[in-house]
Amino acid sequence: MAAAPAPARLVVLVLVAVVVGGDGGDGVIRQVTDGGYWPPGLLPEAQFAAFVRRHGREYSGPEEYARRLRVFAANLARAAAHQALDPTARHGVTPFSDLTREEFEARLTGLATDVGDDDVRRRRLPMPSAAPATEEEVSGLPSSFDWRDRGAVTGVKMQGACGSCWAFSTTGAVEGANFLATGNLLDLSEQQLVDCDHTCDAEKKTECDSGCGGGLMTNAYAYLMSSGGLMEQSAYPYTGAQGACRFDANRVAVRVANFTVVAPAAGPGGNDGDAQMRAALVRHGPLAVGLNAAYMQTYVGGVSCPLVCPRAWVNHGVLLVGYGERGFAALRLGHRPYWIIKNSWGKAWGEQGYYRLCRGRNVCGVDTMVSAVAVAPP
């Protein structure tokens, strides 16, 4: 009898509304903790008191405390909804559980685009594209790969309350490319990009790099090519706030020669983009990518294989550093391949600052905005 699944469909629709809809009053959001779990049955008030102690929160007064408690309670509901829609990952209380979704996205994402999947793909066409990998090259790729094991990735960084994810994604790609070219791993300056880069997209002039207000990795590459290069973190340290530009051309550590976008042409099974991204990752080093960070807001660990994750809202820049072959995903027919993604929210988020996301079929828009960079000889 076909009528039985209707209640299940209703439950899924309600959960989707919680995940992608409004905050329902005082919002919903949070990010990962360092792995702690609350005792079962603990009331939201007690959980919030523990959260405040654990993270050293200080609020302006009783009214603000009460407001943040309401936000925290709403985020508990959001985490439960995410857990139902993404059961192969772990979702729960994180260091950002007292922020509304709007606050979270403003402070901890920062891609300067609100275009959909098709628009992003069209905009990539005028940009230099990486030569597609041949079938022979794809067939020769290892089943798993991780640039961290090869020394091409710096430690996890923290962007703070600044929409500068695009700058961290950019420096990560340049750091990796420089390692491939020279064998030296340098910690490069995001603050230079935040303070000095105001480059606008070649097609959409309104989409400009704007410090903590957001930016695009491809814009940042263009800035670095025109400005002369990127300084080291020690010479231009990160502050988490936009200030006057202090770029010194005499202290440039790495010069960018060019960049390419990885434009996966979807194959018959929808997975050719996956193969092209893996080939580009192995060939060029860590890749700058954009994705929909909806589930990252509550992610604690595991392989994220959300049943629903719109591809059209790409709002967060991260660094793709590797891939694996066997991440367990019970609702996705056993073991599923996954991407290894470096984030910029500190080691207390996710898996020591990293995110594992299911590979294939452009999950959460991860193959929508992918780029590689090459550095000039020293």
- The count of residues in the chain is 378
Can 91 be counted among the known catalytic residues?
no
- The 3-state DSSP class for residue 177 equals helix
Non-local CB neighbours of 375 within 8 Å, separated by 6+ positions: 174, 177, 178, 181, 182, 254, 255, 256, 257
- The 3-state DSSP class for residue 250 equals helix
Q: What is the DSSP letter of 241?
A: S
Cα dist from 151 to 167, 279, 351, whole Å: 21, 19, 19
The b/e string for 264-280 (b: 16+ C-beta within 10 A; e otherwise) is beeeeeebbbbbbbbbb
220: nearest Cα among 292, 152, 284, 171? 171
| CA 224 – CA 173 distance, rounded (Å) | 13
Beta carbons of 279 and 258 less than 8 angstroms apart? no
Beta carbons of 201 and 127 less than 8 angstroms apart? no
Six-digit token string for 136: 């022979």
Exactly one of 343, 358, 362, 364 is catalytic; name it.
Answer: 343
Beta carbons of 308 and 20 less than 8 angstroms apart? yes
Q: What is the DSSP letter of 215?
A: B
| Torsion sign over Cα 90, 94, 98, 104 | negative
Exactly one of 316, 358, 362, 364 is catalytic; name it.
Answer: 316
Q: How many CB atoms lie within 10 A of CB 349?
A: 25
Beta carbons of 272 and 265 less than 8 angstroms apart? yes
Non-local CB neighbours of 47 within 8 Å, separated by 6+ positions: 38, 72, 76, 93
Can 316 be counted among the known catalytic residues?
yes
Six-digit token string for 277: 């991204």
**Residues recognised as catalytic:** 165, 316, 343
